[in-house]
Amino acid sequence: MRTRRKFTSEFKSRVVLELLSGEKTVAEACREYELTAQMVNDWKAQFLAAAPQAFEKGAPSSEEAERIAELEQMVGKLTMQLEIAKKHRACWMERQAENGKRS
């Protein structure tokens, strides 16, 4: 039994670009790379469906969105810690001033 092959996104893109540029037909690509026509046509459909995203500006990928959310959460936590530290310092300064007046 033949094991399932995995193809990189770069390989899939190269095959699809060869088809779209007219460099090869589906049949030629299938023979050369030992692929099925259904697989190549699926790759082509996926490629064309995602093509408009290449021209979108400012739309972060899901990984970027996750990282942004993580960083925003970190900023919020650090802001809270800073506020607590400021209040603690103010209380400490008051106590120091009170202790200084009594002496």
The pLDDT of residue 98 is: 85
Q: Average pLDDT, stretch 14-37?
A: 95
Scan for tokens 């008051």, then name that residue.
94
Q: CA 33 to CA 40: how far, in whole Å?
A: 10
The pLDDT of residue 89 is: 94
Looking at the predicted structure, is the pLDDT value of residue 17 above 60? yes
The pLDDT of residue 55 is: 81
Q: CA 13 to CA 46: how far, in whole Å?
A: 10
This prediction has a pTM of 0.54
Q: What is the pLDDT of residues 26-80, one digit of tens each?
A: 999 999 999 999 999 999 999 999 988 888 776 667 888 889 999 999 999 999 9
Q: CA 38 to CA 97: how far, in whole Å?
A: 81
